[in-house]
Amino acid sequence: MMESMFLALMFTCLNPTVLLAAQTQLIGSHQPIVALVGDDVLLPCHLEPAVSATYETVVWSKAALEPKYVHHKDGRLLFEKQDPSYFLRTRLFMDELQRGNVSMKISKVELSDAGTYKCSLPAMKKEAEVELIVGTSKR
């Protein structure tokens, strides 16, 4: 009895995935991100300490749009779940995912893009927020 508990505990402690998944945090941005209409903008979000998110489902959402998503990566981008206003305007960085960087780029920012975004890794039960402020240029 004690022995099997000990073994289970040892396994849990020595299993790097379990250990890291428990310790790692998903970090968004404490400061709002500011962009001008027409700009491309990066919404930062990463795991710290870094663990790979390559095989994780990554979901970017925005409260006002739910249940539709801004970006949903589940092996591939699922267009049918995406809010149409973000069609072909969002991307993640495939080479950054392995470093736990799930930041999302939005191209050609529109005024209606402003708001609070949530990046999440549902399987790891992690989420973080990033606020986007969109301004118009004064020219």
Ligand X SMILES: *[C@@H]1O[C@H](CO)[C@@H](O)[C@H](O)[C@H]1NC(C)=O
The residue ranges that bind ligand X (CB under 6 A) are 42, 44, 46, 93, 96, 101, 103
Residue with smaller CB distance to ligand X, 44 or 115: 44
Are 132 and 33 contacting, i.e. CB atoms less than 8 angstroms apart?
yes
Q: Max alpha carbon distance in the chain (Å)?
A: 75
Q: How far is the CB of 89 from ligand X (least distance, A)?
A: 16
Q: Give the residue with the Cβ less far from ligand X, 65 or 127.
A: 127
Q: Of all helices (H) and strands (E), which one includes residue 43?
A: strand 41-43
Q: Give 88's contacts (C-beta < 8 A, 6+ positions apart).
A: none
The H or E element that residue 12 is part of is helix 2-14
Choice between 96 and 129, CB closer to ligand X: 96
Minimal distance in Å, beta carbon 42 to ligand X? 5
Least distance from ligand X to the Cβ atom of residue 71, Å: 14
